[in-house]
Structures are given as C-alpha cells and as structure tokens.
C-alpha cells in the first residue's frame, strides 16, 4: 500500500467515525442531561437503603436505580463497588451495575438511531433476563465466604480513575418537590457538575469506540464478517452469535455507549440479532474492567464474575433471539447507520445545534462554580482521593457529608 492509499484509507475511516459522531451527538447530550438530572436529585443514601438483599423485588429496583444513574461502564463498576462497601447486597450491586450500563436512556436512543427500535426493545427485554440468570448463577456458585473476601478487598479502597467520580454524592439536599430542587440554583449547578463529570468519564472511550468502528467499517471487507459469523447457515449463525459477540467486545476494549457504533458495523457484517445484544452487554467484561474487578474484589471473585457474566450474556442473547424471532421482530435488512455521507441540513443538524447550546450552558455553569477542581479530583490522584473520602464537596462547595 503506497502512501497515497494509506492516507485515503485513514481518511475514509475518519470520515465514517465523524459521520457517526454527528448522527448520535444530540442523543448523547440528551441522555447525559437526563442522567445528570436524576443523579442531582436522588440521594445515594436512598439507593443503599433500597439494596440490602437479593430478593427479586430488590434486584428489579436495583436495576431501575442503575438505569437512572450512570452510563459509562467504568463509572458504573466504581459506583457498584461504592454501594457494596456502603452495605448494598453484592448481587443487588451487580444488578445495579448492569442496569446502569445496559438499561440507560442514552443507550436506547442511540441504538434506535443507528440500528433501529427493535434493538432498543431487545436491549431492554434482554437486560432483565440477564439479571435474573446472573442472580440464579450467584445463588448456585457464589458462597458467602467469597463475598466476605470480596468485601474485605473492596474495603481496602484501591482507587481507579473513576473512583473520585463514583464516590461523590452530587445530590441536592433540602426539602421540596423534585422540580423545585431541580430548578433551584443548587439544583442547576449539581446538574451541570454531574453532566460534565459524566462526559469527562466517557469521552476517551467514546472517541476510541467511534474510531474503532470507523476503521473496521472502512477496512474490514463484508466477506470477512459473513464468513466469521457463518451467515450462510442461519441456525449455526444464531447459535454462534451470542457466543462470539461478547468475545469480540472483550477484545475491543470499548465502554458502553462507545460500542454501539461497532455493533452497527457487526450487524451489517452479518452477526445474529442475539449476537448483537450479547455483544452490547459485554462492555462489563472488557479487559481493563476485568482488571478493575481483580483490584476491587480479588482474583477469585474476578474469575467468578467473568464466568457468570459471560454465561448470562450468552443465555440472554439466546432468549432475545428466540423471543424476537418467534414474534417476527428481527429486522430483515442489515442497513444499520454507518454513513459515508457527510453532514447535511436536516433534523439531526437542528437537534445537534439545540443540544450543543444546552451543553455549552451547562459547561459554563460548571466552570463558574468551581468545577475544575472536581475534575482534578476525579483523576484519582492520591491526595484528591484522600480528601474525597473525608468530604465530598458538592455543588457550590457545600459539605454533603451529612446525608451520606
């Protein structure tokens, strides 16, 4: 390949990544805004109180609370550990973790945009199935001795880069209705802070995810994927998809929202419907996160999490394939949004302008209310970590320690 061809190949990959970014930008901002609103007015102490055991009702509630919280896999994993350390049941903490990466609004919106509403529906049907399977596997294989060892390890407090972010309780104290707290000065500031912190947490993974999807979309020929996903044998393809989907995800290193563009590329390439869903769930098993589990809970529990999560993802993928196959809801055409075209004046452009304006307002508020120091704290530096445990300085510097 000569230099000109190399430049053109890189250009093609970057233009694909850029087009995808433009398509999903407003949806991302909307999702993170809604997530920030919820986190700003629901207290972490409330969440812990509701997650004390592993009864079905508690697990359902944990996954809903997760869905209402974060969206980056790294933040979700750190947050689940924080809840576990504060007394949440381990299974409930894992249900929360799954909810907060796989059942969040922004993921649903972007799936609908890039792949179609059927994938959003499948994500939300398969998620609870995965949590049920995981709870059963935990009952069978996770002994209380293992959980105690994991809790001892978690209490050592090894910091990850998302530690500061997960440890902060950004919720606004005070009485009054949800809307009144939200509209107050503290409320607006808290929303701005959570919004920017969430973006800071996910930006790197999102960029990497889009670049990987662009590169694979531009450089890997369709024929490779069709052979790899056994598209000539529909039954084998349906069996193979959920087994291979998570393995592709583990190798691709990309966080929750970041792997939707890659899912679009894989779907166009011929992976089964259930395979796409299993692939999307596996953002909780990527190599960096497996390493975090090892640090958080010890190598034994990390191995158990790898095995149980993987099995529950595969089985949830099969369940989705069967449910959507028998109801004829699996799309027949593989034309997920992996655009070659550039930017054009359409509703996407108007939505992007509107939501970029909202984002700009929130960023200005963040900077004006001392947000820079919080970003430094989120970097997980030892001093910041130390001060973060004593006093999670919430919006406008008021001490939030009293309602942890």
pLDDT in tens, 49-79: 889 899 999 999 999 988 887 667 777 887 8
Q: Is position 236 within any domain?
A: yes
Cα 107 → chain centroid: 8
Q: Is position 399 within any domain?
A: no
Q: Supply the pTM of this predicted model.
A: 0.78
Instruction: State the total domains in the chain.
Output: 1
Q: Is position 401 within any domain?
A: no
Q: Given this model, what pLDDT does residue 37 score? A: 81
Q: Is position 400 within any domain?
A: no
**End-to-end Cα distance, the chain:** 59
Q: What is the mean pLDDT of the chain?
A: 83
Q: Given this model, what pLDDT does residue 334 score? A: 87
Q: Of the spans 131-135, 155-159, 160-164, which averages the highest pLDDT?
A: 131-135
Backbone angles phi, psi at 233, to 5 degrees: -120, 90
Q: Is position 337 within any domain?
A: yes
Q: Is position 396 within any domain?
A: no
Q: Is position 125 within any domain?
A: yes
User: Is the predicted pLDDT of residue 35 greater than 50, yes or no?
Assistant: yes
Report the pLDDT averaged over residues 348-363. Answer: 93
Q: Is position 287 within any domain?
A: yes
pLDDT in tens, 242-278: 999 999 988 876 666 778 888 988 998 999 999 999 9
Q: Hey, what are 366's tokens?
A: 């963040």
More confident residue, 34 or 133: 133
Q: Which domain holds residue 385?
A: 8-391
Q: Hey, what are 225's tokens?
A: 């994927």
Q: 259-269 vs 234-252: helix axis angle to the nearest 10?
A: 150
The phi-psi region of residue 233 (left if phi > 0; otherwise alpha if psi is between -120 and 50; otherwise beta) is beta
Contact (CB, 8 A) for 94 and 139: no
């Amino acid at each position: 390949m000569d230099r000109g061809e190399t430049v053109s190949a890189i250009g093609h990959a970057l233009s694909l990544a850029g087009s995808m970014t433009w398509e999903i930008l407003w949806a991302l901002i909307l999702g993170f805004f809604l997530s920030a609103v919820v986190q700003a007015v629901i207290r972490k102490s409330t969440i812990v109180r509701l997650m004390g055991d592993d009864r079905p009702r508690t697990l359902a509630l944990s996954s809903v609370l997760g869905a209402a919280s974060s969206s980056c896999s790294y933040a979700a994993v750190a947050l689940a550990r924080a809840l576990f350390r504060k007394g949440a049941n381990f299974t409930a903490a894992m249900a929360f973790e799954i909810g907060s990466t796989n059942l969040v609004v922004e993921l649903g919106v972007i799936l609908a945009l890039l792949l179609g509403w059927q994938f959003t529906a499948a994500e939300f049907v398969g998620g609870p199935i995965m949590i049920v399977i995981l709870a059963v596997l935990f009952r069978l294989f996770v002994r209380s001795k293992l959980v105690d060892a994991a809790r001892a390890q978690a209490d050592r407090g090894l910091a990850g880069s998302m530690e500061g972010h997960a440890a902060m309780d950004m919720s606004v104290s005070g009485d009054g209705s949800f809307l009144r707290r939200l509209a107050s000065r503290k409320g607006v500031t808290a929303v701005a802070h959570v919004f920017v912190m969430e973006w800071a947490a996910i930006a790197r993974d999102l960029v990497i995810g889009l670049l990987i999807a662009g590169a694979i979309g531009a450089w890997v020929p369709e024929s490779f994927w069709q052979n790899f996903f056994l598209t000539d044998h529909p039954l084998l393809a349906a069996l193979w998809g959920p087994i291979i989907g998570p393995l592709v995800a583990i190798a691709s290193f990309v966080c929750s929202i970041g792997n939707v563009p890659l899912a679009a590329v894989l779907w166009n390439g011929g992976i089964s419907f259930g395979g796409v869903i299993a692939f999307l769930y596996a953002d909780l098993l990527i190599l960096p996160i497996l390493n975090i589990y090892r640090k958080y809970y010890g190598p034994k529990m990390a191995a158990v999490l790898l095995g149980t999560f993987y099995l529950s993802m595969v089985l949830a993928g099969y369940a989705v394939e069967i449910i959507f196959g028998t109801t004829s809801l699996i799309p027949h055409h593989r034309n997920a949004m992996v655009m070659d075209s550039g930017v054009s004046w359409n509703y996407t452009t108007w939505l992007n302008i509107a939501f970029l304006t909202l984002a700009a307002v929130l960023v200005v508020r963040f900077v004006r209310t001392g947000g820079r120091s919080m970003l430094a704290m989120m970097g997980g530096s030892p001093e910041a970590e130390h001060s973060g445990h004593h006093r999670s300085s919430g919006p406008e510097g008021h001490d939030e320690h009293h309602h942890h």
